[in-house]
Amino acid sequence: MTKITQRLGGATTVLALCAGLVFSAQASADDLAAGKKIAFDRKKGNCLACHQIAGGKLAGTIAPPLISMKARFPDKAKLRAQIWDSTVANPNSIMPPMGRHKILTEKEIDLVTDFIYSL
């Protein structure tokens, strides 16, 4: 139990820190393009494997299409947390824990979050 709380605590600190960074500035067009590239890259985010995204080809049908993200995630930090480790919300989630397993770097996750949030 303590371990879980510790882990949660750790995650929230990381999230809080990153959220601060994310909110500090509106994402630039360059950042959005960089985020899109990571999201579409099969060896990076590979979001298209499961999610439909505008502008992406051969998208999978496993997970919900990524549209109207601002309505679905009024709190951007929650979207980032979901990308960082979706198994916190649902331990059975098939979505790879991009941050917890370091599939993407923290910076890459920031960029992907910005891009997804713009959809």
Sequence-separated (6 or more) residues with CB below 8 Å from residue 57: 48
Q: Scanning the structure block, which residue is given the tokens 């496993």?
A: 62
Binding mask 41-80 for another protein (x = CB under 8 A): -x-----xxx-------xxxxx------------------
Tell me how far apart the alpha carbons of residues 22 and 26 are, in angstroms, rounded to a whole number. Answer: 8
Count of residues in contact with another protein, rule CB under 8 A: 18
Q: Determine the interface stretch with another protein among 10-18, 75-83, 86-94, 104-112 (rule: CB under 8 A).
A: 86-94
Taking the CA atoms of residue 87, residue 63, residue 52 and residue 67 in that order, the dihedral angle to the nearest 10 degrees is: -70
Residues that bind another protein (CB under 8 A): 42, 48-50, 58-62, 87, 92, 94, 96-97, 100-103
